[in-house]
């Protein structure tokens, strides 16, 4: 497994990505679009693009991911995809009857310079229907920037100000699982803050089995609420890389102030969300959240002896990785390698700020944005770790180096149920803590001598 990775030194590269730690922008754009009810995501490119993008989401969520395509062939590639898009929009409204078609571009349509603004402005749409769009060329950015662009696209094209305040706040949850979104809603509900979560994939990617296929599952942000976001009183963007673009767009377009917070993962970052909600609402912290926090602290103390000083490598999406980093530091672990494949300009400075706040000495943690699993593997060979924490993409390194892997983030392609179970908030951290401790203790049980095998740990 991974036998070609150099074992004696770290090969320096200035070009070429090997085993990428990200996927293409439209994957994120489709995920965001499916988080608004009654929307058909549309990939303006070749059939191969949308096949890949839908398959990737389906393999993570184990649920169908609907999306249509402009079905580029050689003709569209040479003469432009305007005619294809026009035909596609007519057919999609006729056959699938969405309320909105959310178009994103692809590598091909961007390279040939297709102008979605002029294409869509020239279309005659059925009464009450809408086409929105955003730019997602995949030779830059990642699925995270694609998600951010589509979330901002909903604000650009749909949010309106009536002048009558809705009394609601907008919550942009970031590229997280529906189980995490449910957990974040729990915090706003406990503070009794009226909110619209946008996008919201609960009830879409975690819809119950009913035996009946629904093209548009019951979940997702209601369209009327997306339109009313111009009347929101405030916004919370959770995870600046994936969420701030939408909040910033709402501020620029309708003068709605916002607060960008880290993804609430672990104690300190969840505390940040809780205190921000307490300040916004003017209410004391609800007893139920204090109780959940106390339970988490209790369990962290219980397992601290097993996690303390364990070396861990973390990779994944920038907002998620920063949260995971904060939590492993709270658990007394040593983050030896921290990386993301997304080109996030503040990633390294945010990692350094976190490390400094925990007093981690310089040189202990190697970190990098726009890295890949090949580079991480080379470094892990040189300085082995006790645990890998991140997506399934770590799996080959785990096997090659015989290192246990705790799966978290996106994509998790080789396990089930994970997208229903949160890792955010105090209760999410509790599940993550269990996974970390179980994995380390299982390894101890496997490797110890017969004399050292303990029933009571
Ligand atoms: S060609 Fe570009 S947009 Fe299409 S699937 Fe590949 S990376 Fe994504």
The range of the structural domain enclosing residue 116 comes to 25-158
107 in ligand 1 pocket by Cβ < 6 Å? yes
Whether residue 415 sits in one domain with residue 317: yes
My answer on whether 100 and 208 are in the same domain is no
Q: Which atom of ligand 1 is nearest to the CA of 53?
A: 5
> What are the φ/ψ torsions at residue 453 (nearest 5 degrees)?
-70, 120
Count other C-beta atoms under 10 Å from residue 348's C-beta. Answer: 14
36 near 198, Cβ under 8 Å? yes
Q: Which residue has the tokens 């969300």?
A: 273
Residue 5 lies in a domain: no
**Its pTM surpasses 0.85:** yes
pLDDT value at 15 more than 90: no
pLDDT digits (tens, 9 = 90+) for 398-434: 999 999 999 999 999 999 999 999 999 999 999 999 9
The answer to whether residues 148 and 243 touch, using CB atoms and an 8 Å cutoff, is yes
Q: 277 and 291: one domain?
A: no
* Residues 279-303, mean pLDDT to the nearest whole number: 98
Instruction: Tell me: pLDDT of 12 over 90.
Output: no
Count CA within 13 A, CB hemisphere, residue 321.
36
Q: What gap in Å lies between CA 314 and CA 385, rounded to an integer? A: 10
Percent of the chain whose pLDDT exceeds 90: 98
Q: What is the Cα–Cα distance from 285 to 384, expressed in whole angstroms?
A: 42
Task: State how many domains the chain has.
Answer: 3
User: Which residue's CA is the nearest one to ligand 1's atom 8?
Assistant: 24
The enclosing domain of 189 has a CATH number of 3.40.50.1980
Question: 305 falls in which pLDDT band (50, 70, 90)?
Answer: very high
- Give a three-class secondary structure readout of the chain: CCCCCCCCCCCCCCCCCCCECCCCHHHHHHHHHCCECCEEEEEECCHHHHHHHHHHHHHHHCCCCCCEECCCCHHHHHHCCHHHHHHHHHHHHHHHCCCEEEEEECHHHHHCCCCHHHHHHCCCCCCCCEEEEECCCCCCCCHHHHHHHHHHHHHHHHCCCCCCCCCCEEEECCCCCHHHHHHHHHHHHHCCCCEEECCCCCCCCCCCCCCCCCCCCCCCECHHHHHHHHHCCEEEEECHHHHHHHHHHHHHHHCCCEEEECCCCCHHHHHHHHHHHHHHHCCCCCHHHHHHHHHHHHHHHHHHHHHCCCEEEEEECHHHHHHHHHHHHHCCCEEEEEEECCCCCCHHHHHHHHHHHCCCCCCCCEEEECCEHHHHHHHHHHCCCCEEEECHHHHHHHHHHCCCEEECCCCCCCCCCHHHCCCCHHHHHHHHHHHHHHHHHHHHHHHCCHHHCCCCC
Q: Are residues 337 and 447 in the same domain?
A: yes
Q: Are 265 and 344 in contact (CB under 8 A)?
A: no
Q: Is the residue at 3 inside a domain?
A: no
Q: Which atom of ligand 1 is the closest one to the Cα of 43?
A: 3
Q: Does residue 424 share a domain with residue 305? A: yes
Atom of ligand 1 nearest to the CA of 52: 5
Q: What is the pLDDT of residue 433?
A: 98
Q: Are residues 437 and 342 in the same domain?
A: yes
Does the residue 49 lie in any domain? yes
What are phi and psi for residue 421, nearest 5 degrees? -105, 125
Instruction: Give domain status of residue 213, yes or no.
Output: yes
pLDDT, averaged across the chain: 97
Query: How many A from CA of 340 to the centre of ligand 1?
Result: 19
Q: Ligand 1 in contact with 20 (CB < 6 A)? A: no
Span 23-65, pLDDT tens digits: 999 999 999 999 999 999 999 999 999 999 999 999 999 999 9
Specify whether 298 is located in the same domain as 354. yes
Q: Quick one: 275 and 294 in the same domain?
A: no
Stretch 344-353: mean pLDDT: 96
Same domain for 187 and 138, yes or no, is no
Which residue from 17, 107, 136 has its CB within 8 A of the most atoms of ligand 1, so it is best to mutate? 107
From 155, 200, 157, 154, select the one nearest 177 (Cα to Cα): 200
- What digits encode the pLDDT tens for the residues 247-264? 999 999 999 999 999 999
**According to the model, what pLDDT value does residue 295 have?**
98
Q: C-alpha distances in angstroms, 357 versus 44, 268, 308, 360? A: 45, 11, 17, 8
What percent of the chain is modeled with pLDDT above 70? 100
Contact 159, 229 (CB under 8 A): yes
Whether residue 9 is contained in a domain is answered as no
pLDDT, tens digit, for every residue of 184-223?
999 999 999 999 999 999 999 999 999 999 999 999 999 9
Output the pLDDT for position 303.
98
The rounded Å distance from CA 106 to ligand 1 centre is: 6
Residue 291 sits in the same domain as residue 427: yes
- Residues with Cβ within 8 Å of residue 345, at least 6 apart in sequence: 369
In-domain check, residue 13: no
- Whether 18 is covered by a domain: the verdict is no
Nearest CA to ligand 1 atom 6: 49
pLDDT at 14: 85
Indicate if 176 and 276 belong to the same structural domain: yes
Query: Is residue 292 included in any domain, yes or no?
Result: yes
Domain boundary among the residues 113, 139, 158 is at 158
Q: Does residue 308 sit in the same domain as residue 277?
A: no
Distance CA 45, CA 103 (A): 10
Last residue of a domain, one of 234, 256, 281: 281
Among residues 229, 257, 281, which one ends one of the domains? 281
Indicate the length of the chain as a whole number: 457
């Amino acid at each position: 497994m991974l036998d070609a990775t150099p074992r004696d030194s770290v090969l320096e590269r200035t070009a070429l990505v090997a085993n990428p730690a990200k996927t293409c922008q439209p994957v994120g754009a489709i995920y965001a679009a499916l988080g608004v009810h009654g929307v058909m995501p549309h990939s303006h490119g070749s059939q191969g693009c949308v096949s890949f993008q839908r398959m990737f989401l389906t393999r993570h969520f184990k649920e169908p991911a609907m999306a249509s395509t402009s079905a580029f062939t050689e003709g569209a590639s040479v003469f432009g995809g305007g005619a294809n898009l026009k035909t596609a929009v007519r057919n999609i409204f006729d056959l699938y009857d969405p309320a909105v078609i959310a178009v994103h571009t692809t590598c091909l349509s961007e390279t040939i310079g297709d102008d979605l603004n002029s294409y869509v402005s020239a279309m005659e749409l059925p009464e009450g229907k809408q086409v929105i769009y955003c730019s997602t060329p995949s030779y830059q950015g990642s699925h995270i920037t694609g998600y951010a662009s589509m979330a901002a696209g909903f604000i650009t094209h749909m949010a309106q100000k009536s002048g009558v305040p809705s009394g609601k706040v907008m919550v942009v949850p970031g590229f997280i699982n529906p189980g995490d979104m449910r957990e974040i809603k729990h915090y706003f509900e406990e503070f009794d803050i009226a909110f619209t979560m946008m996008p919201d994939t609960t009830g879409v990617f975690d819809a119950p089995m009913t035996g009946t296929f629904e093209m548009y599952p019951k979940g997702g942000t209601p369209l009327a609420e997306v339109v009313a976001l111009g009347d929101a009183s405030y916004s919370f963007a959770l995870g600046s890389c994936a969420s701030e673009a939408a909040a910033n767009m709402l501020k620029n377009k309708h003068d709605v102030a916002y607060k960008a917070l880290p993804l609430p993962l672990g104690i300190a970052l969840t505390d940040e969300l809780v205190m921000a909600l307490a300040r916004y609402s003017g209410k004391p912290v609800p007893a139920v959240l204090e109780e959940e926090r106390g339970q988490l602290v209790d369990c962290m103390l219980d397992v601290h002896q097993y996690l303390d000083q364990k070396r861990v490598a973390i990779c994944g999406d920038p907002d998620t990785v920063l949260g995971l980093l904060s939590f492993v530091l709270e658990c007394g672990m040593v983050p030896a390698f921290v990386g993301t494949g997304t080109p996030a300009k503040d990633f390294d400075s945010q990692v350094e700020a976190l490390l400094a706040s925990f007093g981690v000495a310089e040189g202990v943690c190697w970190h990098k944005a726009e890295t890949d699993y090949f580079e991480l593997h080379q470094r892990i060979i040189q300085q082995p770790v006790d645990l890998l924490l991140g997506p399934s993409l770590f799996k080959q390194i785990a096997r090659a180096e015989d290192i246990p892997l705790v799966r978290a983030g996106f994509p998790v392609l080789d396990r089930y149920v994970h997208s229903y179970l949160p890792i955010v908030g105090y209760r999410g951290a509790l599940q993550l803590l269990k996974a970390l401790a179980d994995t380390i203790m299982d390894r101890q049980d496997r490797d110890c001598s017969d004399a050292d095998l303990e029933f009571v740990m």
